[in-house]
Amino acid sequence: MSDFDVPPQRLSLIHWLIVSLAAIGFAFDIYELLMLPLIVRPALQELIHAAPGSPAFNGWVALLFYVPAVAGGIFGLLGGYLTDRLGRRRVLTWSILLYAGSAFAAGYSTSPLMLLILRCTTFIGVCVEFVAAVAWLAELFPQPQQRERVLGYTQAFSSLGGLLIAIANGLAIAQASRLPAIVMPSFLTGLFGVIAAEHQHEPWRYTLMSGLIPAIPLILVRPFLPESPIWQQKRLAGTLRRPSIRELFSPTLRRTTLVTTIMFACSYGAAFGAIQQIPRIVPGLADVQARAQGKPAPEQRRIEQTVGSEYTKMQEIGGLVGRFLLALLAARILSRRTLLRVFQLPGLVVLPLVFYFFLTVENRTFFVVDASALYLGHFPVTTVSLGVFLAGLFTVAQFSFWGNYLPRVYPVYLRGTGESFAANIGGRMIGTSFAAVTAVLASQPFIPGDSAPAKLAFTSAVVGLFVYVVGSVACFFLPEPLEEKLLNQ
């Protein structure tokens, strides 16, 4: 009897706890990662007193995007190895506690270096958590179609996390003056300095500190969570082989490792090199400039941050729709290459066009969804926001693809290590580096544009086109998954 002939298992309370925790983890993975595009502009304006678009400003933007990604990639790879050695549950738990605590502490940053270091530890926790959660879920549900659905729908919560951070940032902007002042504890002032009185109610600080939320349910349910049954059985039987990074490049796995690493890098390259630049491009929209014209500088920044948050919500809604579409199609389209191309090929056209015309197209407003009564803020449906929605849909759906695909191409004893190499070396280290590439290129004199947002939009279009072309070519070499029984040996 094949794994496809086995009926799906009925979900117990323990299953629901694990699925819920993984969904929360996925949601706050993206919640933590997408904080930076929303807060980097106001944070650096306070911490280094440099004008947006200046070489000093863009230099720190590049560092804040890329250095944490490198740290996350290196330690995330180690985390993948530890996931195979120590178990999925233990590594998952500590990784969530690490990134939640780091995000909270980052709200007290008094220098760009302090913010950079805490973003590094946040990234490390996020990179490790993704690998542990995917391996855990894949092994909890051996029936292939049920596993595809569980992985697809739980990963869809990642885009919910992106939407939540945009909402949290909007709330922080609106309610900052009513929230408690953020003051450095007296016993730490000698080491880190003080937060000036005029900056103790900055929205970017509250946004960072909200990352503590996922640690709360984890502490409550941690005692009830079991280990991965397949991993545990092999460990107790003494048949669990020692993971090896070298084995990822053995003749049977070399092509899989190289192609998935390249393509994971391209997926992240499109997101960080283009889509995550939206909050810094939005201030260049003519309608935003008209709203900010004549206002004091703090009010101008508030308007720019608010609209940036609103457009990020639209992009994340697009990503959420894309992830749910992939979850629906994953169990129906057998070929993994075909499934990926459903999103990859339209994105190859849509994303570069959206950013190329971002600031030049007439940004007609069709209507605005006002969900203020639900504390969700505003969702502007405009010419540009619809383009942003589509760019998010086709790009973000590819992240869920990798969560479904990678557990099917590596055996149990290499699953965490293999997933970690593609996700952390490819996605986090190489892919997110395109945010730094975009930031550096956008400040060069040869880039077209008469303003910092215009240069950034043009650069995002070029970078987005490049990574999509590379990913589309690499897709021709993507191996189809092995049989289930081979992977569980």
pLDDT, tens digit, for every residue of 438-447?
988 998 999 9
Tally of CB atoms within 10 A around 284? 20
The answer to whether 154 and 23 are in contact (CB under 8 A) is yes
Q: Tell me the percentage of the chain whose pLDDT exceeds 70.
A: 94
> Which fold does the domain 13-487 belong to in CATH?
Growth Hormone; Chain: A; (1.20.1250)
Pairwise CA distance, residues 116 & 127, whole Å: 16
Q: Provide DSSP, 329-370.
A: HHTT---HHHHHHHHHHHHHHHHHHHHHTTTTS---EEEEEE
Instruction: Report CA torsion sign: 96, 101, 107, 109.
Output: negative
**Number of residues in the chain:** 489
Please state, in angstroms and rounded to a whole number, the distance separating the CA atoms of residues 276 and 367.
Answer: 24
The answer to whether 159 and 316 are in contact (CB under 8 A) is yes
CB crowding 219-242: b at 16 or more within 10 Å, else e = eeebeebebbebbbebbeeeebee
Q: Model confidence at 485, in pLDDT bands (50, 70, 90)?
A: very low
Contacts of 6 (CB under 8 A, 6+ apart): 142, 143
pLDDT at 487 over 60: no
Give the least confident one: 100-104, 242-246, 359-363, 409-413.
242-246
pLDDT at 347 over 90: yes
| pLDDT on residue 308 | 85
Residue labelled with tokens 């015309």: 357
Arithmetic mean of pLDDT over the chain: 84
* pTM summary value: 0.76
Query: What's the alpha-carbon Rg for the chain, to the nearest Å?
Result: 22
For residue 466, what pLDDT is reported? 97
Which residues are registered as beta bridge partners of 446? Answer: none
The mean pLDDT of 151-170, rounded to a whole number, is: 78
In the predicted model, is pLDDT for residue 479 greater than 50?
yes
C-alpha angle with apex 226: 220 to 231, nearest 5 degrees? 145
The pLDDT-based confidence of 232 (bands split at 50, 70, 90) is confident
Separation of alpha carbons 166 and 144, rounded Å: 34
Mean pLDDT for 470-478 is 95
- Amino acid present at 41: R
pLDDT of residue 1: 42
Highest mean pLDDT among 237-241, 276-280, 373-377: 276-280
pLDDT confidence of residue 2: 46
67-96 pLDDT, tens digit each: 888 888 888 777 777 777 777 777 877 887
- What tens digit of pLDDT does each residue of 304-321 get? 888 888 898 888 889 889
CB contact at 8 A, 163 and 314? no
pLDDT at 482: 67
How is the chain split into domains, by residue range?
A: 13-487
What are the DSSP E strand ranges found in 316-459? 365-370, 378-382
Read off the DSSP letter of residue 90.
H
Alpha helices, DSSP H, located in 176-196: 189-192
Residue 135 is predicted with a pLDDT of: 73
| 360-381 confidence digits (pLDDT tens) | 998 999 988 887 766 667 888 9
Kindly report, residue by residue over 395-433, the tens digit of the pLDDT.
988 988 887 788 888 887 787 788 888 888 888 788 888
Q: Is the pLDDT of residue 3 over 60?
A: no
Task: Name which residue leads in pLDDT, 238 or 463.
Answer: 463
